[in-house]
Each structure stands twice: as C-alpha cells, then as structure tokens.
C-alpha cells in the first residue's frame, strides 16, 4: 500500500477505529551533553516541525494511548509519563491542514473527520536519550531531537503546548523526584545538579543543592569515582529506586 493509499484509508475510515475529536500530544524530553532536548517530527504536509502525537483507539484507556504513541516514536516502554494539560480552544480546528496536504504532497483530500476541531490531551515523557530510537510516523518523514533552548516555530499551537509542558516540569521539581529516566544509571553530583539547572534555566548553589538532594534519601553514593576527568574525580551515584518510587507517590517538598 502506497503512502497516499494509507493516508486516504486513514482519512476516510480512521473514525471507525479511533475516537473522533480527541487526540494525544506527547512532549518527549531527553537530557544529553548537559542540554535538555525534545523530540520533534517533520510532517510531510507542513513546512514547520511538530510534536509527536496520535489518536485514541476506541475502548483504549487514555494512558495506554499516550504510552503507545511514545513507544511508536522512541521504541521505549515503561517510561515515566505525566498528563499535564488539556488543550481545547475553539480555534484548534485542523481544516487548514487540507490546504497544506495539497500544497506539500500533491494529495487532494475531501472532507474528513480529521479536519474537525480536536481536543488534545498533553502528556510529557522523560526518557534516557541514548536508549531512544526516534522513528517517524505515517504523517512524517523525520523524527529528531532539538534543544529546548532553540525550538523552531511549530505547527498549530504546538509551541504553546511545549511551553506549558516545560512550565509543568519546572514546577514538579519542587515536589517530586526527577532524573531516573533522564540520567545514565551512574552519574555524578555535578551532573544531576546540571540537569536541575537546565530544566529550571538558572544556577543553583552547589552546597545548598547537595544538602537538599542528599536529604531526600533518593540517592546512593558508590565507592567509585568518574574516570577520565581532568580534576579531582567526583563520586558516582545511583538512585535508590524504592525510595525514588515512594517519593513519586508521596512527594518530596524539595524547595529549590
């Protein structure tokens, strides 16, 4: 089946499989080279990039739909997902996508359920950058990481969705642990501090940060140091997963 045949089938018959007027947008964060990154897709039908997304299968739980979208774009399972907002402005109609399809693919599509107004449920995911395998979907031909600090103009309201997700993630740092899905298994204290600073977009006092993060009990210091560094080798740490998962349920009260 060609791309056009798959596309026409989805546009004409997709509402028999998927719920109408409801979609999922996933903001997939990764941390690499001391920079926070987000995974974007390049739609075949638009000049701008977009957030990964998808539809909800009938009788499918919303959380399962978000996990499915995440797996399809990264190949990863059992990743931390957080629902953060629902986007439902009346102007979220995707009717103009019909014009974009014709302009950029040469495919003329008739009226479709996909050109109606959609309410989108936003989820953000935290993934280990090196383990993710970016994969485009039927609508896109590229799937790549971008630095959060240099995000281009995205389609529709996707810039606003990303901004809302980042604000929610920053707020979460004061209440819940973060880092298990973003850092390698073993990491140094400067590395986890840099992660927090990157997300918050501000510097943190080293001694104050170490005192507070150690006070949470979610870290275990190993009897080994990082190799290949120019100065005094810092100790390596791992997360205490039992305490980390407990803190995800009960919170930390980690005032930064």
pLDDT-derived band at 256, boundaries 50, 70, 90: low
Say which residue, 127 or 227, is predicted with more confidence: 127
Query: What is the structure's pLDDT at 173?
Result: 84
Token readout for 108 is 């003329």
Domains 3-172 and 187-250 share a fold: no
Query: What is the structure's pLDDT at 230?
Result: 63
Evaluate whether 237 touches 220 at the Cβ level (below 8 Å): yes
Evaluate whether 47 touches 140 at the Cβ level (below 8 Å): no
Say which residue, 16 or 4, is predicted with more confidence: 16
CATH class of 187-250: mainly alpha
* Residue 41: closest CA among 33, 50, 32: 50
Query: What is the structure's pLDDT at 24?
Result: 94
Tens of pLDDT, residue by residue over 220-254, are 999 998 876 667 788 999 999 999 888 888 877 77
Tens of pLDDT, residue by residue over 10-24, are 777 778 899 988 999
Radius of gyration of the chain (CA): 21
Average pLDDT over residues 44-61: 91
Instruction: Provide the CB-side half-sphere exposure for 5 (13 A, CA).
Output: 2
Percent of the chain at pLDDT exceeding 90? 50
Give the start-to-end residue ranges of the domains of the chain. Answer: 3-172, 187-250
Query: What is the structure's pLDDT at 120?
Result: 93
Measured N-to-C along each axis, helices 206-215 and 189-200 cross at an angle, to the nearest 10 degrees, of 100
- The CATH homologous superfamily for domain 3-172 is Nucleoside Triphosphate Pyrophosphohydrolase (3.90.79.10)
Percent of the chain at pLDDT exceeding 70? 89
In whole angstroms, give the CA distance from residue 241 to residue 238.
9
Mean residue pLDDT across the chain: 87
Tens of pLDDT, residue by residue over 144-177, are 999 998 999 998 889 999 999 999 999 888 888 8
Query: What is the structure's pLDDT at 98?
Result: 64
């Amino acid at each position: 089946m060609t791309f056009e045949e798959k596309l026409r089938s989805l546009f004409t018959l997709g509402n028999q499989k998927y719920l109408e007027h409801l979609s999922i947008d996933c903001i997939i964060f990764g941390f690499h080279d001391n920079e926070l990154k987000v995974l974007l897709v390049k739609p075949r039908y638009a000049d701008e990039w977009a957030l990964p997304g998808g539809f909800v299968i009938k009788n499918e739980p919303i959380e399962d739909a978000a996990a499915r979208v995440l797996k399809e774009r990264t190949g990863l399972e059992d990743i931390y997902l957080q629902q953060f907002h629902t986007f439902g402005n009346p102007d979220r109609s995707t009717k103009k996508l019909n014009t974009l399809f014709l302009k950029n693919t040469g495919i003329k599509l008739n009226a479709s359920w996909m050109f109606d107004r959609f309410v989108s449920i936003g989820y953000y995911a935290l993934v280990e950058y090196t383990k993710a395998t970016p994969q485009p979907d039927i609508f896109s031909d590229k799937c790549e990481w971008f630095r959060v600090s240099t995000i281009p103009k995205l389609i529709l309201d996707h810039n606003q969705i990303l901004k809302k997700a980042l604000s929610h993630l920053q707020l979460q740092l004061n209440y819940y642990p973060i880092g298990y899905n973003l850092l390698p298994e073993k990491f140094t204290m400067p590395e986890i501090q840099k992660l927090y600073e990157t997300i918050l977009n501000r510097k943190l006092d080293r001694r104050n940060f170490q005192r507070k993060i150690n006070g949470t009990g979610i870290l275990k210091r190993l009897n080994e140091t990082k190799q290949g560094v120019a100065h005094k080798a810092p100790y390596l740490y791992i997360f205490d997963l039992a305490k980390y998962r407990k803190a995800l349920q009960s919170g930390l009260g980690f005032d930064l």
